Structure 1
């Protein structure tokens, strides 16, 4: 059955989701959900992710999705039913028949779940191949098995209609080009893993995709492996006596872009045995600062994390050329810049589903004596 399923992912939509307000559910009700894709009953246990959960009903389940970073009770709901089943579902609630057989992906982050599940054959449409690293996906594009559907705000609706996917993964927090798409009748389902505030919470969205594809068992096993490795690494630095301070971001257009102290990145640094320079900031999303504010808080920080798409060889001279003041940071002077070039590494395409690998990279930087033999995969100290 799995070999017959393909999936379509898009990154944004408005006005087409079944949305309601309700009181928050207790954690116990989030931990178990019945699989309705077959005769057997499989369990999906959610331990870290805050953005999705299931409610079981007679003959169908309701998939609930919310923004993990918002306290609002607004949620998006979909009735999940076995393919071809004549099940009565709530009026007006979008229905998704399981298992999903085809989908379109708007972002590389969405692709990461399909890659980790070995289900790239389900992806029939994507928006861009500019930084496509996965060889299997690239071959599917070259062979026409996966089509390019244009970019957000300028979709090729004829291509989308010809694909007629079972599902489109989207983000309801953006707008662009969905007026025509929403009338086709294709379920548009938010994939909000990128808004989770912990590395394991983000990685657990593999269960979200696995559920829709009828691959719960594969998703559960893969996540268990990720979780065990991540927590094992985390425990290695639990008793470290020295916790270096790290800051993140760069100036762009005169504004320094960073993230708050309750963010995914701040949690990753903490788990790797370091302190984020904004660890006391209560925000979970993006933070914009001026240079003086960053300098006052990070001038003496031990490390500086940067991830960008730089054409050519990135080095300290190139960094200084962007802004002379960068050279005043201690992390610059001591050559303690932690760097990932997204032109060369599958930063969004694979990293979200491999938090244990990213954690190992960070531990290797902050506490090299703990993982002396680890070979960096995504992040490494900028040498030149």
Structure 2
């Protein structure tokens, strides 16, 4: 190469570099940020929140993923001690990393268990069916406290805890006015309303942003996603897809979730079909017994979440309603159940969808996972 060609190459390189400066965070949505930076959050499945990276803060918009409410909850996550200038006025400012917080549900708590950051949780509601030993010990030793139940919070305890934020579920019973008076930021957490299993688990990333542990949250989610999709691919090979009934009679109604819910998706991913697969609802549906019987009496399997003291059995199930014995799944002993009094389903399952999926595949297609030992769901004996 002669000296003129070499000089020309240098000039071209400089011009190219000038036209392609390093990426700017200003106005950049998380989905377009360089994925090689493991501290950035990219949303792939969750529909309930989105993230926008700006100068020295992040804007997070949270909205009901099931579309039952159009309210948007807006938060600006700012590094502790940095300027609050230029933040839009309709965003609640949250200084991060959050040092302490209160969880209102075990579904929220599951994210902190998964990330190993229970030391940040200083308060929670009822602990009647709390399984996690670390959280039990924190409450026993006074490092965390019970704050009452939704609609009946203990204002004095909350004031004494002095948390940075409180995670709330605005579509539940509430009673948050008491907390609002304390000027503690309330952060809406809607992971439980996601319509996909991986979407629900992806709220780990939101918790990671609050605590400044984005890299850890990203790593955990990648592991979950990989295992889940591997199991999903495994079940896609089946040709026989059993029909699955879900729910039971409560207070005169049979409560089920719709055909577009995360549970219906789990059944599909496990190589089965939901008995209401043509239903378009993403949330809960109340049906009378006759409606369920006409559509689900011949279902191959019956999935149940029960809260029963002692051993559960077909006799116990029949005793709650004699009509249950008429269902095909009852007659053929294909009830798939989880006893909430014996297993930490709500504490762990939201962030372990791959484990739940393995349980369901084991029940529906045991030949696919011969060595899997059920963790949450198992066939009722």
Q: 1:352 to 1:191 in 2, by over 3 A?
A: same
Report the counterpart of residue 321 of structure 1 in structure 2: 319
Q: Describe the superposition over 1:194-239 as per-residue Cα deviations: whole angstroms up to 9, x where unpaired.
A: 0000110000000010111000011000000000000000000112
Q: 1:344 aligns with which of 316, 319, 342?
A: 342
| Aligned counterpart, 2:84 | 87
- Aligned counterpart, 1:124: 122
Q: Which secondary structure does the structure 1 equivalent of 2:51 belong to?
A: strand
SS in 2 for 1:124: strand
8 Å contact kept, 2:153–2:178: no
CA deviations on 1:313-372 (whole Å, 9 max, x unpaired) are 211011111111100001000000001000000010011110000000000011110001
Residues 24-55 of structure 1, C-alpha deviations (whole Å, 9 max, x = no match): xxxx9452569xxxxx9831011000001112
Q: Does 1:360 align with 2:358?
A: yes
Tell me, yes or no, if the aligned pair for 2:76 and 2:91 is still in contact at 8 Å. Answer: yes
Flag the 1:308–1:32 CA change in 2: closer, same or farther, 3 A.
farther
Q: 1:243 aligns with which of 220, 241, 244?
A: 241
1:62-141 pair list within 5 angstroms: 62-70=59-67, 73-88=70-85, 89-141=87-139
- Work out the CA distance in 2 between the residues paired with 1:189 and 1:285: 22
Partner of 2:39: 42
Partners of 1:49 and 1:92 in 2: CA distance: 23
**Which moved further from structure 2: 149-158 or 191-200?**
149-158
State the match for 1:278 in structure 2: 276
Pairwise CA distance, 1:58? 2.8
Deviates more, 1:284-293 or 1:68-77: 68-77
> What is the aligned partner in structure 1 of residue 12 from structure 2?
none
| Structure-1-length-normalised TM-score | 0.89
The 5 Å alignment of 1:191-340 reads 191-340=189-338
| Larger mean Cα displacement after TM superposition, 179-188 or 330-339 | 179-188
Quote the offset at 1:71 in angstroms. Answer: 7.1
Cα drift, residue 180 of structure 1: 2.5
**Does 1:59 pair with 2:25?**
no
Aligned to 1:157: 155
- If you compute each CA radius of gyration, which structure gives the higher value, 1 or 2? 2
Structure 1 CA distance, aligned partners of 2:172 and 2:253? 22
Q: C-alpha deviations, 1:41-91, integer Å up to 9, x for none?
A: 831011000001112223222111010100765311011111011221222
Alignment length (residue pairs): 352
Compared CA separation, residues 92 and 266, structure 1 to 2 (3 A)? closer
What is the CA-CA distance between 1:299 and the residue it aligns to?
1.1
Alpha carbons of structure 1 residues 33 and 126: separation in structure 2 relative to 1, 3 Å: farther
User: SS at 1:364's partner residue?
Assistant: helix
Please provide the CA RMSD for this pair: 1.7
Mapped pair 1:174 → 2:168:
no
Runs of at least 5 residues in structure 1 that lack an aligned partner in the other structure: 1-27, 35-39
Name the structure where helix makes up a greater proportion of residues: 2
Quick check: 1:32–1:46 contact (8 Å CA) kept in 2? no
Q: 1:144 to 1:242 in 2, by over 3 A?
A: same
CA contact (8 A) 2:38 2:215 kept: no
Higher relative contact order (CA 8 A, sep 6+): 1
Q: Is the 2:257–2:263 contact (alpha carbons within 8 Å) kept by the matching residues of 1?
A: yes
